[in-house]
């Protein structure tokens, strides 16, 4: 398997995106990082290039809900780096409230960001990969995509289930090619999103989570639960749980 040298990460200014950027930089990969908060991106790029002088790090401001700009930024990254070898669709939103309780705007924003904006990122990435006839598309879904979730997770889980199905379809469509597609289903990993959720059971540290994510991505599987323990065996249990028991579970 060839090394994926030039890697695009969306939502790279904090959380899982920042953690993956640090791990890939340590592996000697060049990075194209985008997010809304360019001050954080610029500081991260300076830190990474100082620590790893052999790599390139380019950054760009991007709100993934600005779909036209997604295509523009990806094209600019490709022009700067020569090729895009891997795209990690990581930008996402964890906002949400129970359906029918007057928070349509919050649920709509979650669906728009996690699914429609993710589609724009996948379209832009796959446009590059189809022209290059090679590449690795990685989508960061969620363990909650396994089935419908109650309460504040309903719209979030639905958006991530849609994203997983989207990635599955792209994977099937590109099976005869040199394009690979990976769906990541993280459990609880320390981030700004989990911090806002309050007390979180089975929480992996940000460093452990980033290491597990990068290890999974480097293997290029079709699907990976991250960290594999305890989330891979829990996946079997969650699929079989009676609906009533899901009210006691909150998994992002």
Beta bridge pairs of residue 226: 186
Q: Which residues are catalytic?
A: 156
Q: What is the CATH number of domain 6-246?
A: 3.40.50.720
Q: How many CB atoms lie within 10 A of CB 204?
A: 23
**C-alpha closest to that of 94 among 252, 217, 241:** 252
| Percent of the chain that is helix, strand, coil (3-state, to 5) | 55, 15, 30
pTM of the model: 0.93
- Per-residue pLDDT in tens (0 to 9) along the chain, 252 residues: 679 999 999 999 999 999 999 999 999 999 999 999 999 999 999 999 999 999 999 999 999 999 999 999 999 999 999 999 999 999 999 989 999 999 999 999 999 999 999 999 999 999 999 999 999 999 999 999 999 988 999 999 999 999 999 999 999 999 999 999 999 999 989 866 555 545 566 788 889 999 999 999 999 999 999 999 989 988 988 888 888 776 665 444
Domain boundaries, given as residue ranges, for the chain: 6-246
Is there a contact between 165 and 147 (Cβ–Cβ < 8 Å)? no
Q: Among 108, 101, 125, 147, which Cα is nearest to 245's?
A: 147
Burial profile 219-231: b = 16 or more Cβ within 10 angstroms, e = fewer:
eeeebbbbbeeeb
Residue 41 has which token pair? 């991106």
- H or E element, residue 81: helix 67-81
């Amino acid at each position: 398997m060839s090394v994926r040298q030039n890697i695009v990460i969306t939502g790279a200014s904090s959380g899982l995106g920042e953690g993956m950027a640090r791990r890939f930089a340590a592996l000697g990969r060049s990075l194209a990082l985008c997010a809304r908060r360019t001050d954080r991106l610029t500081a991260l790029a300076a830190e990474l290039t100082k620590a790893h002088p052999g790599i390139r790090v380019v950054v760009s401001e991007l709100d993934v809900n600005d779909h036209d700009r997604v295509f523009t930024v990806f094209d600019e990254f490709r022009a700067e780096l020569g090729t895009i070898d891997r795209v990690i669709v990581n930008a996402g939103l964890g906002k949400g409230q129970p359906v029918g309780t007057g928070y349509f705007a919050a649920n709509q924003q979650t669906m728009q960001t996690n699914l429609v904006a993710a589609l724009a990122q996948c379209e832009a990435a796959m446009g590059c990969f189809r022209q290059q006839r090679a590449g690795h598309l990685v989508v960061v879904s969620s363990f909650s995509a396994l089935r419908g979730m109650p309460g504040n997770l309903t719209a979030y889980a639905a958006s991530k289930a849609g994203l997983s199905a989207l990635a599955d379809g792209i994977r099937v469509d590109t099976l005869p090619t040199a394009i690979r597609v990976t769906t990541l289903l993280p459990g609880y990993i320390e981030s700004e999103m989990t911090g806002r959720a309050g007390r979180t059971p089975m929480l992996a540290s940000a460093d452990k989570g980033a290491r597990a994510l990068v290890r999974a991505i480097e293997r290029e599987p079709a699907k990976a639960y991250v960290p594999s323990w305890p989330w891979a065996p829990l996946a079997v249990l969650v699929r079989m749980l009676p609906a009533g028991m899901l009210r006691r579970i909150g998994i992002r």
